[in-house]
């Protein structure tokens, strides 16, 4: 049976509901001094506003070493009723201080960490490997790459993710900088045994190139549109019009009758900063996506297509047959 792996256990795919496909309950990074998401009480209040804005689930996109708090995620998921799909993997190099031991690990060592998180449970404290292991499991793999660059460390993460994917079938998120190197990372993952339809390219909308996006979805990959409320980069109107353009020219269908774009775009907020969380004293908060962006998108492309982006597409991406044996990861 296909199910999504959440922090409180596997749930049937039809119970996911509306999914916010990119947020962070907790995040601590050298790139974000003074903007840390590290208060369980405030983060719980913020996630409750996401639930109240119409979402039943979210992907927590914080990978290893950036302040994950699995026990708090478990408790918050229970208290709010929000299904949380946690992430394992390693972000792009810039998110780690020089000398961080994670950056020195080989591909197989990274894969072992990822498989532990997926199969057994995440550690109590990422910064203290000896702190013990929880039974709170991740349900998604993640790697980040830089602007038109895949460093040697990031390449080893991609290799490790491919090993873990082939052993579990877990879905893969790729952080892109302004959607650069999208084809290149799909090529590399494909060579390593990760099919495009298991991959979510996060932040694709930071480069509002409808032609590029049509090329990518025709390869079968999922695109994360998650830049709303970031008017310094792109206005909401630009993102809404991008979505309409990509969907409006959608005439390609796959063997299952699914269209290339309508069934490959997902939405997220990626608010990701203390100064942007209402519970931390900032704005606009996690409720922005559901309360303010989604209604405008519905007016532009129609409620039926928005339903696909919020519910049906995330379900196809996240639901896996976790109980079935998979490849051991050998070539």
Residue 121 CA to residue 137 CA, distance in Å, equals 4
Q: Which residues contact 231 (CB under 8 A, 6 or more apart)?
A: none
Judge whether residue 69 has pLDDT over 70. yes
Quickly state the pLDDT bin for 308 (edges 50, 70, 90): very high
Cis, peptide link before residue 257, omega less than 30° from 0: no
- The pLDDT of residue 47 is 98
Judge whether residue 232 has pLDDT over 60. yes
- The pLDDT of residue 253 is 47
- The pLDDT of residue 261 is 87
Strands (E), the chain: 3-6, 9-12, 19-23, 57-60, 83-85, 87-90, 140-144, 172-175, 199-202, 222-225, 265-267
Q: How confident is the model over 15-47, as pLDDT tens digits?
A: 999 999 999 999 999 999 999 999 999 999 999
Judge whether residue 252 has pLDDT over 70. no
Judge whether residue 313 has pLDDT over 50. yes
φ, ψ of residue 17 in degrees (nearest 5): 70, -150
User: Residue 225 in 3-state DSSP?
Assistant: strand
pTM of the predicted structure, to 2 decimals: 0.94
Q: How confident is the model over 146-167, as pLDDT tens digits?
A: 999 999 999 999 999 999 999 9
User: Residue 160 in 3-state DSSP?
Assistant: helix
Across the chain, what does the average pLDDT equal?
93
Neighbours of 97 (CB within 10 A): 9
- Domains of the chain (ranges; CATH) run 3-318 (3.20.20.140)
Q: What is the mean pLDDT of residues 163-181?
A: 97
Q: Which of 109-118, 129-138, 231-240, 308-317 has the lowest mean pLDDT?
A: 129-138
Q: How confident is the model over 78-124, as pLDDT tens digits?
A: 999 999 999 999 999 999 999 999 999 999 999 999 999 999 999 99
* Beta bridge partner(s), residue 142: 89, 173
């Amino acid at each position: 049976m296909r199910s999504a792996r959440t922090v409180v256990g596997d749930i049937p795919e039809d119970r996911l509901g509306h999914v916010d496909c990119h947020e962070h309950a907790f995040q601590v990074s050298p790139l974000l001094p003074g903007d840390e998401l590290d208060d369980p009480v405030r983060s719980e209040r913020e996630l409750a506003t996401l639930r109240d804005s119409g979402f039943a689930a979210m992907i927590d996109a914080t990978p290893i070493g950036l302040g994950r708090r699995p026990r708090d995620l478990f408790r918050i998921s229970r208290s709010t009723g929000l299904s949380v799909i946690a992430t394992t993997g390693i972000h792009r190099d810039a998110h780690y201080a020089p000398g961080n031991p994670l950056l020195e690990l080989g591909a197989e060592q990274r894969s072992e960490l990822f498989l532990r998180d997926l199969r057994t449970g995440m550690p109590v404290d990422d910064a203290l490997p000896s702190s013990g292991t929880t039974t709170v499991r991740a349900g998604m793999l993640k790697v980040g790459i830089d602007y038109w660059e895949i460093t040697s460390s990031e390449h080893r993460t991609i290799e490790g993710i491919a090993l873990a994917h082939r052993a579990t079938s877990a879905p893969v998120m790729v952080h892109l900088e302004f959607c650069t190197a999208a084809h290149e990372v799909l090529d590399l993952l494909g060579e390593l045994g990760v099919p495009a339809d298991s991959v979510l390219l996060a932040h694709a909308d930071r480069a509002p190139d409808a032609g590029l996006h049509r090329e990518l979805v025709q390869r079968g990959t999922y695109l994360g549109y998650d830049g709303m409320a970031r008017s310094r980069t792109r206005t909401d109107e630009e993102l809404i019009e991008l979505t309409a353009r990509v969907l409006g020219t959608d005439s390609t269908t796959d063997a299952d009758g699914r269209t290339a774009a309508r069934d490959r775009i997902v939405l997220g907020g990626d608010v990701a900063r203390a100064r942007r969380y209402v519970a931390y004293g900032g704005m606009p908060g996690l409720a922005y996506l559901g309360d303010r962006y989604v209604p405008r998108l519905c007016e532009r492309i129609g409620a039926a297509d928005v339903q696909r982006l919020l519910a049906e597409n995330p379900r196809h991406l996240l639901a896996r047959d976790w109980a079935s044996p998979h490849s051991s990861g050998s070539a």
